[in-house]
Amino acid sequence: MRRTRTLILTTVAVVAATATAWFALPASAAAPTASVTTVSDWGTGWQSEVTISNTGASAMSSWKVEFDLPAGATIGSFWDASLSSAGTHHTFTNRSWNGSVPVDAKVTFGFIGSGGKPANCKLNGQPCGDSGGTSGDTAGGASSPSPANPTNPNSPGGSGPVAGGTTTAPTVAPTTAPATKAPTTPKADETTAVPPASNLLPVTVSNKTGRGDSVFLYVLGVNLTTGKLGYVNSAGTFTAWTGGGAVPVPAPDVAIAGPGNGASTTIKVPKNLSGRLYMSFGQKLDFRLTTGGLVQPAPWAGGDPNRDILFDWSEFTLNDSGLWLNSSQVDMFAVPHIVSVTGGNGVTSKTGELKAGGRQAVINAVKASPDFAKSVVTRADGTVLRVLAPGKAADAGLMSPTYLDSYISSAWTAYTSKNLTVVPFTDQPSVRYTGRTSGNVMNFTDASGKTVASFTKPSTANVWGCDGALAAPNDQVVGPIARTLCAALTRTTLGRLDTQPSGTAADFYQGNPANLYAKVIHENMTDGKAYAFAFDDVQNQESLVHDGDPRQAGITLTPF
């Protein structure tokens, strides 16, 4: 919900903002200094900030920060600086408006990268400090959450590989403040009896699948008050995880017996929890603990013990601002389910419902495409377990990792000769940014002509994951532009529609090549809403319900 994120579920355990370790890199008492801070690290990428402090004796009129990255590492988006690169060497220089730094003043700029982090830092040709200017890691070996859309705490961010690449350890907490407005997409379609307000929200899971498998439920998340990762039992008691090791060890069995076909099970979720509610069929899931937190299922990864289990999850955040609950197809499409919430006014909103036969229709459409067909995963007994999202399928070697490259290049170069206008906030139409491409970089200026963000041309993987060159920091400028670009590229409207976001569902996925996975999932939803990629919430296309005064919630497992 990734806006990830989403609740976003990302790749690592949450740490408090104050826990981010950083190294001040002094050059000398009479010269400017620089520090490179790792603001967040989500496994597949990281966000860094450089602070230049004029601790010298005279004002600075310009500055230059340069460093090396390991082979294979890349810089994606960046802001408040200009970038030039030569191989693995990267040089940031001031913009026209922030080169002057008075004595005792500071200036900062930031960037997002993937792979190894900066080394051999220099400020104006001199070493940034004795340590060589390497960026800091987050304290305790954990990392801050992946960037996400700052308007929704539950944007699905997907998950990335832990060292070894066999499993993932997503965070289970929102990375941003709660949404400032309720989404407009869910349908308020019925009025029911209203339970009293409580710090324990009843969530009823109903099984209408028509299947005879045993069902197991798990409520896993982060306590937003303490920041601790843990699990919840059926009565709503939160328990923090303990133990773990450098090599993942089995987590305690915290499964809750779920409903049989035609039955329902009600569990309680405590306020100030953000996480996932998993449901598995026929077999319990295999969770592991490491010193950095919980390793969650990643069936697209080789060797994951959950690969042959039919399962899925919903994502949620419950806090003082209400409940956000979504179904997610960001990583995979597996078990169809409806999510719903009933507010204090007795009105129930719901979304995520597939059309009759919709699951099979999605499977058939994907199987019919030579490019996507291998992303349909079938168990030995003939059960279709899941359809992998394109990014996960590409990671697993099941589809081309360069599938979108031709479209991306065409869309990116379209703006060498015309302007792209980004209006990221529907309630602030006067806030707009103008983008133009120069080489492989698209620069955005504000109304005053100031360059506020720059993005290198993304790869197919960056578009699938809304990551790397399109990763969205939690701010009010670069992040909103990044998520808008990712949505436009995923929906193939960039290059065709020169104001973004814009268009309707009829305009989406019309380019060539297109994201067939997202297209057919949306087409088979009764309300057209789905979370088929991390920023599907741009233009309110996501399968999310929210209520500021939730009294009960529901997850209905529908026939398949």
Of 93-102, 200-209, 411-420, the least confident: 93-102
- Which CATH number applies to 187-224+231-244+266-401+524-557: 3.40.190.10, 1.10.150.110, 2.40.160.60, 2.60.110.10? 2.60.110.10
Residue 525 has pLDDT above 80, yes or no: yes
pLDDT of residue 155: 52
For the stretch 116-138, pLDDT in tens is 999 999 999 988 863 333 333 32
Q: What residues does 215 pair with on adjacent strands?
A: 281
- Residue 331 appears among annotated catalytic residues: yes
Residue 502 has pLDDT above 70, yes or no: yes
For the stretch 19-35, pLDDT in tens is 323 233 333 346 899 99
Q: Among residues 533, 474, 420, which one has the least CA distance to residue 79?
A: 474
Residue 188 has pLDDT above 70, yes or no: no
Average pLDDT, the chain: 86
Residue 168 has pLDDT above 70, yes or no: no
Which distant-in-sequence residues (6+ apart) come within 8 Å of 322 by Cβ?
Answer: 178, 546, 547, 548, 549, 550
The CATH 3.30.920.50 portion of the chain extends over 405-512
Architecture of the 21-137 domain: Sandwich (2.60)
Report the amino acid identity of residue 551. Answer: R
pLDDT of residue 474: 87
The CATH 2.60.40.290 portion of the chain extends over 21-137
Report the amino acid identity of residue 450. Answer: K
Strand-pair category, 441-445 with 451-456? antiparallel
In angstroms, what CA-CA distances link 92 with 26, 60, 383? 19, 16, 53
Structure tokens at 267: 């569990």
In angstroms, what CA-CA distances link 157 with 147, 173, 331, 435, 495? 8, 11, 9, 25, 25
Task: Report the b/e string of 526-552 with b at 16+ CB within 10 A.
Answer: eeebbbbbbbbbbbebbbbbbbeebbb
Q: Among residues 412, 376, 357, which one has the least CA distance to residue 516?
A: 376
Mean pLDDT value across residues 64-75: 93
Catalytic residue among 68, 80, 315, 537: 315
For the stretch 240-263, pLDDT in tens is 999 888 899 999 999 999 999 999
Q: What's the residue count for the chain?
A: 560
For the stretch 307-338, pLDDT in tens is 999 999 999 999 999 999 999 999 999 999 99
The CATH 2.60.110.10 portion of the chain extends over 187-224+231-244+266-401+524-557
Q: Is 361 helix (H, G, I), strand (E, B) or coil?
A: helix
For the stretch 422-477, pLDDT in tens is 999 999 999 999 999 999 999 999 999 999 999 999 999 999 999 999 999 989 99
Residue 3 has pLDDT above 90, yes or no: no
In angstroms, what CA-CA distances link 178 with 149, 198, 547? 11, 19, 12
pLDDT category at 45 given cuts 50, 70, 90 is confident
Q: What residues does 444 pair with on adjacent strands?
A: 435, 453
Mean pLDDT value across residues 177-197: 54
Strand-pair category, 215-223 with 273-281? antiparallel
Catalytic residue among 49, 331, 536, 537: 331
pLDDT of residue 325: 98
For the stretch 513-523, pLDDT in tens is 999 999 999 99
pLDDT category at 192 given cuts 50, 70, 90 is low
- Residue 49 appears among annotated catalytic residues: no
Q: Is 19 helix (H, G, I), strand (E, B) or coil?
A: helix
pTM: 0.81
Residue 350 has pLDDT above 80, yes or no: yes
How open is the CA angle 363-255-269, to the nearest 5 degrees?
95
Helix (H) or strand (E) holding 304: none
Which distant-in-sequence residues (6+ apart) come within 8 Å of 231 by Cβ?
Answer: 218, 219, 220, 221, 238, 239, 241, 254
In angstroms, what CA-CA distances link 465 with 81, 469, 540? 25, 10, 19
Architecture of the 405-512 domain: 2-Layer Sandwich (3.30)
pLDDT of residue 17: 31
